[in-house]
Structure 1
Amino acid sequence: MIDKASPIPIYFQIQELIRKKIGQGEWKTGEAIPSERVLSETFEVSRMTVRQAVQGLVDEGILTRKRGSGTFVSEQKVEQPLDGRMSFTRLMEERGMKASSKIVTFMEREAAPHEMEALKLRTPANILHIERIRYGDDIPIVFETIATPAAMAEGLTEEELNHSFYQFLERKKGLRLGKGSQTIEAVAASARLAKLLKVDPGSPVLSIERVTALADGTPFEYVKAQYAGSRFKFYM
């Protein structure tokens, strides 16, 4: 509980207790937290102190105020280093979340000019064209459009793709993955993307275009990944 003799500000102690309740699952995403009156009685502090603590968590995005309804636990964003290369599956596992995917498109076709340029294909060639939604704990996080040389992806099944494309290349193909380059921009969700990610049309989306290469420098993947801005963030 609150230690009023501690040099740690009371509002900060309240914030830590709220974080703990959320972290332990006592207060779940989307649920309303107790009112300021109830919290002030529970912690035996003034409503002004509770309001200061709650507002700080709202500013951090941990809580969300809804006019006329109360204060709710926000969707907690998944964090990933902007300059890191880590499979989505591993990223979810490291955060104690269950990774899953839904394949929207899985087909071989001729590479478009911009895909040939990105993958450094000098002559017309086929690619494996993939569209998939990736989930963390059954919540849609990102919609990916992937182009990879068909010859390199030979033998890849939808089942293996649902687990990890990178693991398929490393374990089944014996390939060593190298570095990638990417660009990032903020865009608004189209009607189709909003439906796939279960967000409102026009919602903020982090759109990343990435080319990843093998250890020898050969590009093997051209991806456009569109992340729900309310559920994901990058840091440096």
Structure 2
Amino acid sequence: MARFEKNSDTLLYVQVSDYVREKIYSKEWGVDDRIPSEHELMAMLHLSRGTVQKGIRALVDEGLLVQQRGRGTYVTQPVMARPSSNSLLSFAESMSVQGIPYETEVVEKRVEPAGTACSRELGIEKGSPYLYLARVRRVFGEPVMFIESHLNLKVCPGLADADFADEGLFAAVERISGRGVGTSEMVYSARACGKTRAEWLRCDEHAPVLECAQLVRLEDGTPIEWGSVWLPANRCVISSETHRAE
């Protein structure tokens, strides 16, 4: 349960926003999921209705939530999706192709039971084990991306034993599963960084970041990775080259 500090310099409604934002960013609450009602949040967080309402309204204004009259408040679907290229490369592979030296730090790696959103996206039973993997990539000591992955252990058992500081995720998946990585569906969204990711990216929690949410499938169409890459707006850009259709 979240701890709210009434004597903190951070206003209580901002702490409510941080709490709900973290639930969404960590994908505990997925797109189109209904979040707890105001009364449920009041009971969960032991805060007044006005404080909860103000915190939720801030996230509606950010575009993370939408309120539907008579139905509740839901996590929204981003409105724009655009692939960066026609070739599927991991971010590590892309940096290597460009000759950019980087280092990877694994900051979290744990096996967890799948919740509703995770089971839906990975095509596994609710409660089935999946691998949560969080990594920071640095260039010349400066963090340039924070990567969160929810990985399907059903089709890639033993993945949790891989050394992701030295081996790229796609390479590990292909080595262990014996199957090739096939396609990726990506959605780009502008976000406020949020407290947790700001700590890893060494930026202000209100700083703009680009979230690249993706669902990666093996060659046979089986989902293998559901996650996000978080890119600080002042350190990274996404470029693309396209050709006009004839």
Q: Which residue of 2 aligns with 1:115?
A: 118
**Partner in structure 2 of residue 192 of structure 1:** 196
The farther-off stretch of 110-119 and 172-181 is 172-181
> Where has structure 1 moved over 4 Å in runs of 4 or more?
none
Seq. identity, %:
21
Flag the structure with larger Rg: 1
How many pairs were matched up? 157
Deviations 1:66-111 (A, max 9, x none): xxxxxxxxxxxxxx93554212222121222222211121111101
**Alignment correspondent of 2:228:** 224
Q: TM-score under structure 2 normalisation?
A: 0.58
Contact kept, 8 Å, 1:180 with 1:212, in 2: the verdict is yes
| 2:237 paired residue number | 233
Give the aligned CA root-mean-square deviation in angstroms: 2.0
Q: Is residue 139 of structure 1 aligned with residue 142 of structure 2?
A: yes
Q: Is the 8 A contact 1:100 1:163 kept in 2?
A: no
Q: Which residue number corresponds to residue 244 of structure 2?
A: none
Q: Which residue of 2 aligns with 1:52?
A: none
Letter aligned with residue 191 of structure 1: K
Query: 1:34-49 to 2 correspondence within 5 Å?
Result: none
Verify the 8 A CA contact 1:128 1:153 in the aligned structure 2. no
Higher strand share: 1
Task: After TM superposition, give the deviation of residue 227 of structure 1 in Å.
Answer: 0.9
Kept after mapping to 2: 8 A contact 1:103/1:158: no
Contact 1:189 1:203 in 2 (8 A): yes
Quick one: distance in 2 between partners of 1:224 and 1:235? 18
Q: Distance in 1 between matches of 2:128 and 2:101?
A: 36
Q: CA separation of 1:111/1:183 partners in 2, compared to 1, >3 Å: closer, same or farther?
A: same
Of the three residues 98, 103, 120, the one matched with 1:100 is 103
Partner residue in 2 for 1:150: 153
**Residues in 2 aligned to 1:196 and 1:225: alpha-carbon distance in whole angstroms:** 12
